[in-house]
């Protein structure tokens, strides 16, 4: 093979030869026999605010718990999917409606995109905390949701 010549697939070729490309693909199931999806493969999110990695960690913990408590791997994968799919879908919907930088956008709207010296004149710390806490609750990483469990 000549230097610089590739016989494998490239991203550009995959895109060029695809009949259909879905920006936010919707899938009916995560689990297919002894194979399951996790992280961004199961629930793609905007790459901001560590959402994808946070959900992947929660997926991994849920999957490990399911594998530990079910004797059959296929049953464990289905239990994992049942535990995570609806929750992750809600995170994706919330993330699209109120992305991680929603607070920045909200402040920009409140101040009219003008410089300001005192944010408290436009929004209280309590209101900011509520916005942040609501998202943490939906995403599953509010302090109340982080329960110490057995080491994996």
In a domain, 5, yes or no: no
pLDDT digits (tens, 9 = 90+) for 79-137: 999 999 988 888 888 877 877 677 778 888 888 878 888 888 888 889 888 887 887 88
- Which range of residues forms the domain containing residue 34? 14-99
Instruction: Answer yes or no: is 127 within a domain.
Output: yes
47 and 61, same domain (yes or no): yes
Half-sphere exposure in the Cβ direction for 52 (13 Å, CA): 10
Q: What is the pLDDT of residue 72?
A: 94
Q: What are the backbone angles phi and psi of residue 32, rounded to the nearest 5°? A: -135, 95
């Amino acid at each position: 093979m000549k230097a610089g010549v590739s016989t494998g697939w490239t991203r550009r070729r995959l895109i060029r030869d695809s009949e259909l490309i879905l920006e936010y693909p919707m899938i009916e199931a995560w689990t297919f026999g002894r194979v399951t999806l996790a992280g961004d493969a199961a629930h793609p999110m905007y790459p901001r605010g560590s959402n994808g990695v946070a959900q992947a960690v929660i997926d991994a913990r849920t999957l490990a718990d399911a594998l530990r408590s079910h004797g059959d791997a296929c049953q464990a994968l289905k239990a994992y999917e049942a535990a995570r799919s609806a929750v992750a879908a809600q995170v994706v919907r919330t993330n699209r409606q109120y992305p991680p930088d929603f607070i920045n956008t909200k402040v920009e709207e409140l101040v009219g995109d003008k410089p300001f010296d005192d944010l408290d004149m436009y929004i209280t710390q309590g209101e900011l905390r509520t916005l942040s806490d609501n998202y943490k609750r939906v995403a599953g990483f509010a302090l109340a949701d982080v329960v110490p469990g057995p080491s994996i």
